[in-house]
Every structure is written in C-alpha cells, then in structure tokens.
Chain A
C-alpha cells in the first residue's frame, strides 16, 4: 500500500501532473471574513507541502440558512476568495448544503512536475528540519472559544493561520528540499512521525528551538487544551522519547493540533542555513531549524531540551 501523502497526485504526461486535496471545517474565530481566510489558507496548504502550484478551487459550504444571516456566508466566501486570489488560483465553482453548523473549505487542484513531487518519507540522515510557522493555534483557538484568549495571542494566531504557505513552498523549491509535509491536526510530532514511520531513520527535535505563539503557555496552564492534543499524544507516545526534565508545556505544545500550520521541511545540512536565511528574507520570519533526521534510533522521535 502506498504511503498516504498530503495530496493525491495524478500524472497527465511525462512533465505534468495534477495534485488534488480537500479540507473544510467549522469556524475557529468569530469574524467570518477571517474564518474564510483561515479555511482557504488551510485548504491550499497541502498543495504547497508537495511543491505544487494551486490552479483551480471549488468552495465547499455547509450553512444554516434558517438561523444565520446570509451576509455571514458572504463574508466567509469573500475571505476565502481573497486567499485564492493571493495564491494565484481561480475559483471555478462550489457546492453548498443546508446544515446546523457553518462549515467552509476548498477542494483544490494544482499542477506539478511529476518528478518534483515532494514526499513525506524521503528525508535523509543528517537532514535538518525547518518549521515555518509557530505552534499554538489549537490551544489559542480553544481559549478563543472560552473567551479567555488575550488580544495579542488572538491577533498573532490569526495572522499565522491566514498566512499562505506559498512563499515557504517557493523558497523550499528554489533551494531544494528532500522531503516536506505540513503541520496540521496531528501536531508537530504527529506529522514528524509520518516522515519516519516504518523507515530506517529517526528524528531529533530540539524543543527549545520550536517557535511558539505568545500566550499559548499561559492558556495551556488554564486548561485551554484541545482534546485533539491529548489524542495526538496518546496515539504517538510509543514513538516519542522526551528528555527528562522537559516541562509539561514543552511536551504538550509539540502535539498541539494546528489549523493552517507551517511546512515541516527536511533539507540537506549544507543547504539548511541558506534556506532559513532565504525564508527569513522572504518574510517567513518565524521559520526555525527545529531538529534533524538521524540514523538511530530508527523509527523514533527523541525530543531534547
């Protein structure tokens, strides 16, 4: 069985393939325009993770037409469209159904050269791992729901979630990566695990080097921890070894489920600093080298301070 990748890839000719992906979900912020932007950026992310270029998109909408003002839907769709335009893609249609709760997202079709598809599991020993966005959107989204997120935490989390992974993907392709995935619902360690599961390689993550959104630590201490974080931790605990003395937050945040999270890029060690500088220079300011691929222990993630 073929390993599951971030996108479906279908080769049309020797030098052209289409990549396809779909994602949609319920609102995680109150502002409908921002929710539209976040959902669209999140849907487009899988195409960027494999190194593709989004071509066309279709809206997927569930809407409670009896109980919600249609203007809310208009704002959601406008927010999404703004991100579709920013991606250089074209909205060609969509479909809506009546539902009790608003849901929105995109089905995305992109283009890619069949030989240039970036996979999850092709990282090589000594490769560095670059993460392009800070973690914490799951905890902060939970706190937003509870009404206790600070303005700074909310603003920074939203700014991160509406940011397309387009620039990161372009820089990554220009410099050359050996593997890539995007960090979403399974958290950093869950997605990192997919890069080495059933391979002869392992990963070292340096917890202190992982960028984290401001406020996430205080909110986690208040119990604003999404259920997905605990499920991610329980699912992957057998693969992960934490160094003794690592704080509970530093362990937890690595499992925080992300919405519209960053790319996790494996890059040859001699190119890593150059890629990081290029990311920073292109405006991906919070990108950081968070770990590396190792030969041993194979199939494990060791988290160091």
Chain B
C-alpha cells in the first residue's frame, strides 16, 4: 500500500479532519432523513407513530397519569359498581362490578400488553433472524435443510393451539404465556430473514467480499444483515399487534395475566359475563386493543414505505 502514494503523503491533521467529517457528514443521518421523508409522506404512518408513542408512554408512565392508581390492585367499592360511562365526570368510562374505574384499568392494562410485546420480541427477533441468516447464507446445504426444516415444525402448529397447550400443561402464569408465544413465533423471523438473505447472497457485493477473503461471520452479520433491517423492522412492528391479540386471547381464556393484574384481555373476558346490559367494562378495553393494533399496523406500513427503495 505504501506504493500507492501518487498525491504525496497525507498529513496527520488531514486525517484528523477526515475522521471528524465522518460524524459531521454522517451518511446515516442523511439516510435517516430520506427514510423519514418517505415515512411521513403518508399521514396514516404519522397517526400510527402517534398511537405507538402514546401506547408506549402509557405503558411506562400509566400509573402516574391515571385518576385512581389503586384501582389496579385488589380494590372494591361496591356502592360505585357499574356506573354508566359518560354520566359521572370522575368515571368517564364507567366502573366495573367492583366499582373500579374502567379508564384507569384500561390504561394500566397497556403495561401488561407492552411487557408481553417487549419480552416476546426480544426473544423471538434475534433468535429467528440468526437462524434464518445462517440458513440463508448456506442455502441448499445441509445447514439450510436442518435449520429450516426444524423451524417448519413450529410453523406447522397453529400458534394459539401450541401456546394454549403449553400454558394449560403448566400452571397459568404470564411468563409461561410469553415463553409459549415466543416458541411458536421465532420461525417467522427465521423465514423472513432466510428469504431476504437467500436472495442477497446472489448479490455481487457478497461475491466480492468472498473472493477477497472476508470471513463468513463478517459477511453474514456485517455485509448481509444490515440489508435486511427494513424487512425485519417492518415485520416486528406489524407483529406488535399480533402478540397483543394472542396475549389477550390467552388472558381471555384465563391462561395469561392473573387477577388482579389489570390486563386488557382479562378485562374483556371478565366484562363479557355482564354483556349486553353492562357493556362498558369489556368494550372499552376491547377498543383499546384495537386502537393499539391499528396504531402499530399503520406504523409498520410506514416503516415498510421508508425502507422500500431505501437500500438502493
């Protein structure tokens, strides 16, 4: 390399300046700006982002903003039971059979839902992506066959059924519910990573890295993986809604959150017993579930738009 000094030696200061420029020019800031532009072109994406931010905020700080934090635990106030919504200014969404504020419990329910999402996605996304990445890079070899057929086993079982049988076998516990959901969820990330990677391995930049002698690990994780971010992020965002639905379904069946933890699925289940006369204890949490799912679906679509031509 020392032979390549056509323009004379480069000075120490110049190098310092160039290193500084990397942060200043920040190509990533640039591409983020472009992505944001494509994302924000669709107002629905912004609505989705807004809902997602509200959801996350309420999941973390819900206890601080609800009118009656104590209604989230064992609490009863029978004289105030089944107050109709929009009648009493202090109980806008009405109260349930124990006289607990439905608004308070709905907001507090966000925490359980989002905890579930965070735990499940943290387990599922990295494990699935690594399996799909390794299998995709070794496409059409025994590694591919072994990993992908193994993941197919889990895909073949209907998600809710597997989660149901696992939680039913063990004692009902939110942790088991999360593990059960994760067990049947990771193969979808393996699939999506696999599909992306197995087309990316035909790209010439991968050939180029190989002939130069780059290590397999570096090619997989540094050259190929960053090109799949868009697809994985989109899938993860869209999955937030699905995890919440499945989590709520398990709770509805009594296999998820246990009383008195405020949880949207349990609230719908408990409130369903009083339908149709006392509709509000179940309908408001149900609306909240739909609201969160809608929000994250819109956000996911927006992220997909942002990454669509992003890598070209």
Tell me whether A and B are bound partners. Answer: no
Interface positions of A (Cβ within 8 A of B): none
